[in-house]
Amino acid sequence: MLSIKVLGPGCDNCHKVEENAREAVQQLGVEATIEKVTDRSEFARYGLLYTPGLVVNEKLVSGGRIPSVAEVVGLLTKAQANS
């Protein structure tokens, strides 16, 4: 199962990243937990400088922008191959 975290204060961009992550999970048909992290001290733990951030299996894979659904599909596929 994939672990996905969306890092951000809850802004519109953060919601869009979460939507794209959910869509990517649905397209792949994989099991995943998606968690929103709004605690700024957690952002630093992952090395995130600008929100929103996307973490897959405890690794920061995107920060400061909104990855497309297709990009998230690729990131999740890669994470699955490495686990």
Distance separating alpha carbons of residues 2 and 79, to the nearest angstrom: 8
Pairing status of strand 2-7 against strand 32-37: parallel
62 given a catalytic annotation: no
Residue from 11, 34, 44, 49 carrying the catalytic annotation = 11
Alpha helix positions (H), 1-83: 12-28, 40-45, 69-82
8: annotated active-site residue:
no
Residue in 14, 72, 73, 76 annotated catalytic:
14
Peptide bond into 67 cis (omega under 30): no
Q: What CA–CA distance (Å, rounded) separates 14 from 73?
A: 17
- Residues involved in catalysis: 11, 14
